[in-house]
Amino acid sequence: MTVPMVEARGLHKSYGGVEVLKGVNLTVSRGEVTCLIGPSGSGKSTLLRCINHLEKHDAGELRVDGELVGYEARGGKLYELNDRQICHERSQIGMVFQRFNLFQNLNVLENLTVGPTKVKDLSEEQANKRARELLVRVGLEGKEKNYPTQLSGGQQQRVAIARALAMEPKLMLFDEPTSALDPELVGEVLDVMKDLARSGMTMVVVTHEMNFAREVANTVYFLDQGVIEESGDPKSILTSPSSPRLQSFLSKVL
Amino acid sequence: MNGDESVKVVPVRHVGQWFGMALLALFLAMLIHTFWSKIPTGARTCHLVNGRYRCHANMKWRFGWNLVFHYFTNDQVLKGLVVTLELTVYAMIIGVILGVIVAIMRRSQNRLLSAAAWSYTWLFRGTPVYVQLLIWGNIAYLYPKIAIGIPFTHIYLLHFGANSVFTSFNAAVIALGLNEGAYFSEIVRSGLIAVDEGQTEAAISLGMSRGQTLRSIVLPQAMRVIIPPTGNEVISMLKTTSLVVALSVLDLLGAIQDIIGQNYQPMPMFILASMWYLIISTVLSIGQFYLERYFARGALRTPPLTPTQRLRRDLRGIASKYKTRRGVQVGTAP
């Protein structure tokens, strides 16, 4: 049996006394799309941010591609990784944010090349070539010289996806990628994500787009108050939820 | 009213503004008159005309313009000006480097580093720069010999006399630079705070290190906030260097005071010094404008116009207005 891409066992996380994750178990298989749904404050984003170590989990075990996140197990002890090792772990995981977070001081092309040139030591030409290919893929050829503020929200988010892909990650994390977009721009971003899913990318998506979850996800996890209330394949859990919490959540969002 | 009729709009008349402008113009005219007027020197000149003495009072420029322009490019003055510029540049370089380091230390998670940074700012911002200048100028009283070695032993790797290092010029540069660093660190800090946290998160998500994130992403964006107060600081420094007269450094003001000692004409010389300071600060302001424009790229959809671009736009505006008046083009509401 192959090692799952992400595996969390009894994950805990607190912010100053408030427990946000209360023992979360999660398995993400390779090449699959996993959607995390749930009301705000349920811990979806925190779980996602733990996966690339933007947040440090307090207890439990979290593995990406079989490797512990943020720690190294040697001789029965856990050793905290140093900054360089953590950077290396992160460089293999792409992250897309709700508010795009494109680098404001760099143009579109530079946004896509800064990671590969600084972190992976790619040459300028190689990075530019890859960046141009990715821009074509997300439908933004010809925007290389534009600055982020000159683009629409949907275009910015597509650049952000391309920026993450430029690092050739083995896993992509999406933190409510369409929540900050005008309704008419949501489609273009979801199309890029669907295309990415079809290409076999392993994706974890925090989303409120139930149609996307139904259509693309292999597994849907419903989080509420820091625990996973229900999980399973989207058809069954979104159409015939068993827990009353998911039932009431779905009645509000659908 | 149908759409193709154009309506004449009568703007509000600002009577008060016109009155104020007239008053201001009057005061300006008075001031300019004093610039270009002559006053009696106190002496009189008499000539023998047709067997009688005719006398009249000797007159001189009130502002001593002849002296101002006579000394304007005097060797001593120019040498002093160079010293002033050197002091400004060196002190600012020290201040900027120190400021950036201290600002980053201040944000460090290491308590010792952030406490050290805080204490430095506290000390150098909390005492007058003039006092600091005097202390560094007289540091040899405290440390006649400077040695690098192992504390509490007599083992020295390097030692030299304080006066050979802390010449009055060096002491001035160190004093001004250290003082500037304290202020500049706060400017840098405000710039770093102004950059959205999401930028850092995005950068480290790509696997960039803290240092790379700071250099490639955060600092360039902080620059937009840092530049305007930096322009302020440079201009302020240019003028603060005049305090080094206290250490008998012959900067612009020092040279001017020397000349006053020879010609006993203080006011024209002070005006001369003011003119030089004004010229340099004007040049610096122009530089600041272009620097701000450069660092605004990406942050603004349209960068601010340069003065020549603005002039061209204004001229176009006047031209189109003229056309509208002649009825060639019907103007639309702005």
Q: Across the interface, which of B204, B206, B299 has its CB nearest the CB of A104?
A: B299
- Distance (Å, rounded) from C-alpha B120 to C-alpha B105? 11
Q: Across the interface, which of A84, A99, A105 has its CB nearest the CB of B298?
A: A105
Highest mean pLDDT out of B81-85, B143-147, B309-313: B81-85
3-state secondary structure of B83: helix
The residue with tokens 């960039």 is: B208
Residue B165's pLDDT band (boundaries 50, 70, 90)?
Answer: confident
pLDDT at residue B326 is higher than 70: no
The pLDDT of residue B334 is 43
Cβ distance of B298 and A163 shorter than 8 Å: no
| Average pLDDT of chain B to the nearest whole number | 89
Residues of B with CB under 8 A from a CB of A: 196, 198-199, 201-210, 212, 216-217, 220-221, 297-301
**For range B177-191, the mean pLDDT:** 96
Cβ distance of B299 and A105 shorter than 8 Å: yes
The pLDDT of residue B332 is 47
The pLDDT of residue A149 is 92
- Distance (Å, rounded) from C-alpha B172 to C-alpha B133? 6
Q: What is the pLDDT of residues A136-158, one digit of tens each?
A: 999 999 999 999 999 999 999 99
Contacts of A101 in chain B (CB under 8 A): 196, 198-199, 201-202
Contacts of A46 in chain B (CB under 8 A): none
The pLDDT of residue A16 is 86
- CA distance to partner chain B, nearest, from residue A77 (Å): 26
pLDDT at residue B160 is higher than 60: yes
pLDDT at residue B2 is higher than 80: no
A246 and chain B in contact, CB less than 8 A: no
CA nearest to B199 within chain A: A101
Cβ distance of B205 and A106 shorter than 8 Å: no
Burial class of residue A200 (count of CB atoms within 10 Å of its CB; 0-12, 13-18, 19+): exposed
Which pair of tokens denotes residue A249?
A: 């959540």
Best to test chain A binding among B110, B197, B205 (most A CBs inside 10 Å): B205
Residue A128's H or E segment, with its range, is helix A124-137
Contacts of A91 in chain B (CB under 8 A): 206-207
pLDDT at residue B224 is higher than 90: no
pLDDT-flagged residues of chain A (< 50): none
Residue B324's pLDDT band (boundaries 50, 70, 90)?
Answer: low
- Distance (Å, rounded) from C-alpha B114 to C-alpha B101? 11
Cβ distance of A119 and B208 shorter than 8 Å: yes
Q: What is the pLDDT of residues B241-283, one digit of tens each?
A: 999 999 999 999 999 999 999 999 999 999 999 999 999 999 9
Do residues A123 and A131 touch, judged by C-beta distance below 8 A?
A: no
The pLDDT of residue B258 is 94
Side-chain half-sphere CA neighbours of B19 within 13 A: 4
> How far is Cα of residue B153 from the mean position of the Cα atoms in its chain?
47
- CA distance to partner chain B, nearest, from residue A146 (Å): 8
A106 and chain B in contact, CB less than 8 A: yes
The residue with tokens 């009055």 is: B168
Cβ distance of B299 and A90 shorter than 8 Å: no
Cβ distance of A103 and B217 shorter than 8 Å: yes
The pLDDT of residue B301 is 62
Q: What is the pLDDT of residues B89-147, one digit of tens each?
A: 999 999 999 999 999 999 888 999 999 999 999 999 999 999 999 999 998 888 888 88
- CA distance to partner chain B, nearest, from residue A244 (Å): 36
CA nearest to B198 within chain A: A101
Among residues 215-244 of chain A, which lie with CB inside 8 Å of chain B?
none
Nearest to A58 by CA among A90, A10, A95, A26: A10
**For range B298-302, the mean pLDDT:** 66
Cβ distance of A87 and B209 shorter than 8 Å: yes
Contacts of B220 in chain A (CB under 8 A): 105
Which pair of tokens denotes residue A181?
A: 């977009």
pLDDT at residue B297 is higher than 80: no
Nearest to A6 by CA among A42, A43, A53, A59: A53
ipTM: 0.92
**For range B208-233, the mean pLDDT:** 92
Cβ distance of A90 and B297 shorter than 8 Å: no
Q: Across the interface, which of B198, B199, B208 has its CB nearest the CB of A118?
A: B208
The pLDDT of residue A219 is 96
**For range B73-78, the mean pLDDT:** 94
Best to test chain B binding among A103, A147, A150, A204 (most B CBs inside 10 Å): A103
Cβ distance of A118 and B297 shorter than 8 Å: no
Do residues A149 and A104 touch, judged by C-beta distance below 8 A?
A: yes
Q: What is the pLDDT of residues A178-221, one digit of tens each?
A: 999 999 999 999 999 999 999 999 999 999 999 999 999 999 99
Q: Across the interface, which of B199, B208, B299 has its CB nearest the CB of A149?
A: B299
The pLDDT of residue A88 is 92
**For range B53-70, the mean pLDDT:** 90
- CA distance to partner chain B, nearest, from residue A221 (Å): 24
The pLDDT of residue B22 is 96
**Number of cross-chain residue pairs from A and B with Cβ atoms under 8 Å apart:** 80
A84 and chain B in contact, CB less than 8 A: yes
pLDDT at residue B56 is higher than 50: yes
